[in-house]
Amino acid sequence: MIASPSFLTPEEYFDWEAAQPERHEYFDGATYAMAGGTLAHGRIGLNISAFLNAQVRSRQCLTFNSDCRVGISEAGPFTYPDVSVSCDERDRTAQQFIQHPCLIVEVLSASTEAYDRGRKFELYRQLPSLQEYMLVGSETKTVELFRRDEAGAWRFFVYGEGHEVTLASVGVTLSVDQIYADVAIAPLGGVQLLS
Residue 42 has pLDDT above 50, yes or no: yes
Which pLDDT score is estimated for 2? 45
74-133 pLDDT, tens digit each = 999 999 999 999 999 999 999 999 999 999 999 999 888 999 999 999 999 999 999 999
Which pLDDT score is estimated for 3? 43
45's CB contacts (< 8 A; 6+ apart) are 37, 65, 66, 82, 83, 105, 107
6 pLDDT tier (thresholds 50, 70, 90): confident
Can you say how many angstroms the Cα of residue 142 is from the centroid of all Cα atoms in its chain? Answer: 16
The shares of helix, strand and coil residues in the chain, as percent rounded to the nearest 5, are 25, 30, 45
Residue 141 has pLDDT above 90, yes or no: yes
Query: pTM of the entire structure?
Result: 0.91
